[in-house]
């Protein structure tokens, strides 16, 4: 049986977060940009369903050391919900984002449902 599309998405988000967290370590000022984003999201009513996880992100970005954030966010199972509502976008350049997506896609077999057969 071919791998489910969710496995590809999970591999992508996990790798994107690894790179974003590395960037936060290398360039601590990016942490403030991520914190500003999560604060803005918390002020928007459209994000009410995600509020508990956004508040956790705010706490993590304000108070936690990066090593602890990485342990929680990069946990393949436990960090999934946090990765789905992640404010770490400012920690990646568009070029980094595209490179990561290409890297992950090159490592995983494509499952186009038998297209071209």
Structural domain includes residue 2: no
Instruction: Calculate the average pLDDT of the chain.
Output: 89
pLDDT over threshold 90, residue 117? no
Structural domain includes residue 1: no
Structural domain includes residue 79: yes
Residue 72 CA to residue 48 CA, distance in Å, equals: 22
DSSP result, 22-65: HHHHH-TTHHHHHHHHHHHHHT-GGGGGGHHHHHHHHHHHHHS-
Structural domain includes residue 115: no
- The predicted-structure confidence for 12-29, as pLDDT tens digits, reads as follows 999 999 999 999 999 999
Range of the domain at 50: 7-107
Give how many domains the chain has, as a whole number: 1
- The predicted-structure confidence for 39-97, as pLDDT tens digits, reads as follows 999 999 998 999 999 999 999 999 999 999 999 999 988 899 999 999 999 999 999 99
List C-alpha distances in Å: 79 to 94, 107, 109: 23, 22, 24
């Amino acid at each position: 049986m071919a791998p489910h599309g969710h496995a590809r998405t999970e591999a992508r988000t996990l790798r994107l977060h690894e790179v974003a967290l590395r960037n936060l370590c290398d360039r601590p000022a990016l942490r403030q940009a991520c914190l500003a984003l999560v604060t803005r999201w918390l002020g928007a009513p459209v994000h009410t369903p995600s509020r508990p996880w956004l508040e956790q992100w705010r706490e993590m970005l304000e108070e936690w050391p990066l090593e602890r954030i990485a342990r929680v966010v990069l946990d393949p199972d436990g960090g999934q919900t946090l990765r789905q509502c992640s404010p770490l976008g400012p920690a990646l350049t568009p070029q980094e984002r595209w490179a990561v997506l290409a890297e992950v896609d090159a490592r995983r077999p494509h499952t186009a449902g038998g297209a071209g057969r």
